[in-house]
Structure 1
Amino acid sequence: MLTKTTVTDDQVAALVAPLGRAVRVTPLSGGLFASVLRADLDDGRRVVVKVTGADTSRLLRYEHGVLGTEAAVDRLAHATGLPVPQVLHVDTTRAHVDGDALVTTFLAGDLWRGLELDDTDAARARRSLGALMAGFHRITGDEFGYPAPESGLSAPSWPDAFRAMVDAVLDDADRWDVSLPAARLRAAVERHHDLLASVTVPRLVHADLWEGNLLLDPADRTVAGAIDAERALWGDPVFELVGADQLGAGAVDADLLAGYRDAGGDLGVGDGEPGSGDPDAWRRLRLYRAYFACLLVVEIVPRAYTGEWATGHDRAARANLARVLDELGA
């Protein structure tokens, strides 16, 4: 089972020492393999400390080097004015803790997940999310794929990068003895090579903009912050729709798309109903949904998920995978 690194108050104090003296440390609910804590400094500032463990034996291939990815993405996005944490300190010396550490500013706001929003507030939040996505996608890079060198999943072209990403998750499936329709998925990727090649500009995709990573302004319920950019990649902006609706396989939210268009972008999927917009954009979306479904299925084993939730999660992801592969083959 993948376990988080235990981080003591004294270790947090040592990690934030270049910034100030920690007077209080509070654990936060974090990601699946990072320990996340809030530190209150003696000058009144609040910072977040995230530590990823040194043991990478139970990570999926794309997860290698994610702390460096998060730091790099936050720096890029913050420089353009997007509401992401500001990177204050990175410690990869492992002198204070058995892992790598990232220290950022603490973002205020209400975590979207768990909020009970009325229809008006929910629509406003989704439209502002669309605008946030468009902001990320205005940032361009030099290569496609996952940026961390440790993953080895980048390439000069999007079809080559995406093929490597698919091969990596299928290799992970073999490693953890997870059954997947590998031949069908690889055939779909190869069959749509030229379609993927139509994506010629590597754009920054957060790839994890679901409600658990978004903070809303308490006053107007617009998105006030986006956290956990560790899954980010350089690629097709359409990929963003998968990270925002990770078990979705049908329509795309119309309010989100409206917010994206209001911000000057167009993802090509029309009003969000299958059959509207550009058929090529929908085919690319289905490829990305197939890939992401594989990630969701495979990670269950190294994460040692159990119980009814895990069974339902696996069933839903596999059903989506079968559905989009059928649609891609139609």
Structure 2
Amino acid sequence: MTGRYEADPATLKDLLAPLGDVQALETLGGGTFATAVRATFADGSRSVVKMVAADTGRMSTYEKGILGTEARIFGMLADSGVPVPRVQLTDFTRTRLAADVVVTEHLPGAAWNDLSLGDDEQRTLRRELGAVMTAAHRVTAPHFGYPAPESGLSGDTWREAFGLMVSAALADADRWGVPLPDDGVRAALAAHAACLDEVIAPAVVHADLWPGNVFVDETELRIVGIIDTERTVWADPLLDLVGAEQFSAAPPDEDIVAGDTAAGGVLADLLSTEGGQARLHLCRMYYAILLVTEVTIRGYEGDFAVWYETTARANLDSALERLGC
């Protein structure tokens, strides 16, 4: 898969030596992009080592410099109220490993999507997730677009940055031979460009807050960890609603929006306007393009790949229809 990297255990232990004497290394499952390894030290403490291969040949444009973004966003959110892990070590030299490396503290709890919870419990967590979004959106970002300079996808305005993001996504699809309704996408962007100017300040948008990236204390039923900040965009807050429900074409989850509102967030206000609704569908259009294209780039196979691409294409068609294109 794209970005995955198998490190030599001895070299990895040497890299981790400043943190302690490594007693065990365990590759963690669940990721489709990077490789994650749990390191256990002699004193019983644990860390998570995340590695992305240096070879960018099978990456989307927005993924260039992606692990540097993860470390940077963890730092930005450290005192925000968003429960992100502390960064313990980074290595972007690619001298000992042919990969970028970020090491963080090991979070408590369990991944939300691994838990068997009732409807009321799920609603409680979705409301708390809305509050987590609010906390992140209050953090000041320096510009719009992707943080990593390597991507080249940033701008002084959301219109400029989003236009670059969409163009890059279409170019990636063309490079990999993935057919898309390019004319419809460009027409939608042109027809609704003015509403992008309504976004006057960039928010820190995680853009990937599905339950697999959320850690929960099952006993207290509260969110205790947020991971995988590498796809963060400094953007319109509405993009977080799309990232949390990546394969949905339905209205945004009411509980997430309610949780954001209760925490003083602006998502409900944005969704109540014509421009906000248009931007929601533009964000869904963009996200669907990424999902459709990555099936080919990452080499997904079997029934999963068929479902993934079919659903994403249906969502793309739905977004374009709602945008009048």
TM surpasses 0.5: yes
Instruction: Tell me, in whole angstroms, the C-alpha distance in 1 between the residues paired with 2:269 and 2:217.
Output: 28
Asked whether 1:211 is paired with 2:211, we answer yes
Instruction: Tell me, in whole angstroms, the C-alpha distance in 1 between the residues paired with 2:322 and 2:33.
Output: 34
Asked whether 1:150 is paired with 2:145, we answer no
TM alignment of 1:159-170, pairs within 5 A: 159-170=159-170
1:35 counterpart residue number: 35
TM alignment of 1:20-99, pairs within 5 A: 20-99=20-99
Give the stretch that moved more between structures: 89-98 or 230-239. Answer: 89-98
Give the stretch that moved more between structures: 67-76 or 254-263. Answer: 254-263
Q: For residues 3 and 232 of structure 1, do their structure 2 counterparts lie closer, same or farther at Cα, with a shift above 3 Å needed?
A: closer
| 3-state secondary structure, aligned to 2:56 | coil
Question: How does the TM-score come out when normalised to structure 2?
Answer: 0.97
Instruction: Tell me, in whole angstroms, the C-alpha distance in 1 between the residues paired with 2:108 and 2:68.
Output: 23
**Structure 1 residue 3, shift from structure 2 partner:** 6.1
Asked whether 1:303 is paired with 2:325, we answer no
Asked whether 1:4 is paired with 2:4, we answer yes
Cα deviation, 1:178-215, whole Å, max 9, x if unaligned, reads 10011111111111111001101011000000011111
2:117 counterpart residue number: 117
What amino acid does structure 2 have at the position aligned with 1:143? Answer: H
What amino acid does structure 2 have at the position aligned with 1:139? Answer: V
Task: Report if aligned partners of 2:163, 2:189 keep a CA contact under 8 Å in 1.
Answer: yes
1:273 counterpart residue number: none
Asked whether 1:287 is paired with 2:282, we answer yes
Identity of aligned residues (%): 44
Residue ranges of structure 2 left out of the alignment (5+ in a row):
none
Give the stretch that moved more between structures: 138-147 or 90-99. Answer: 90-99
List 4+ stretches of structure 1 deviating above 3 A: none
2:320 counterpart residue number: 325
Asked whether 1:187 is paired with 2:187, we answer yes
Asked whether 1:177 is paired with 2:177, we answer yes
Task: Report if aligned partners of 1:12, 1:49 keep a CA contact under 8 Å in 2.
Answer: no
Question: How does the TM-score come out when normalised to structure 1?
Answer: 0.95
Task: Report if aligned partners of 2:128, 2:222 keep a CA contact under 8 Å in 1.
Answer: yes
Instruction: Tell me, in whole angstroms, the C-alpha distance in 2 between the residues paired with 1:4 and 1:198.
Output: 38
Task: Report if aligned partners of 1:24, 1:39 keep a CA contact under 8 Å in 2.
Answer: yes
Give the stretch that moved more between structures: 231-240 or 108-117. Answer: 108-117
Task: Report if aligned partners of 2:37, 2:49 keep a CA contact under 8 Å in 1.
Answer: yes
What amino acid does structure 1 have at the position aligned with 2:106? Answer: F
What's the C-alpha RMSD, in Å, of the aligned pairs?
Answer: 1.4
2:233 counterpart residue number: 233
**Structure 1 residue 92, shift from structure 2 partner:** 1.3
2:245 counterpart residue number: 245
Task: Report if aligned partners of 1:268, 1:281 keep a CA contact under 8 Å in 2.
Answer: no
Task: Report if aligned partners of 2:3, 2:56 keep a CA contact under 8 Å in 1.
Answer: no
**Structure 1 residue 278, shift from structure 2 partner:** 2.1
| 3-state secondary structure, aligned to 2:72 | helix
Instruction: Tell me, in whole angstroms, the C-alpha distance in 2 between the residues paired with 1:120 and 1:8.
Output: 45
Task: Report if aligned partners of 2:3, 2:54 keep a CA contact under 8 Å in 1.
Answer: no
Instruction: Tell me, in whole angstroms, the C-alpha distance in 1 between the residues paired with 2:13 and 2:237.
Output: 39
| 3-state secondary structure, aligned to 2:289 | helix
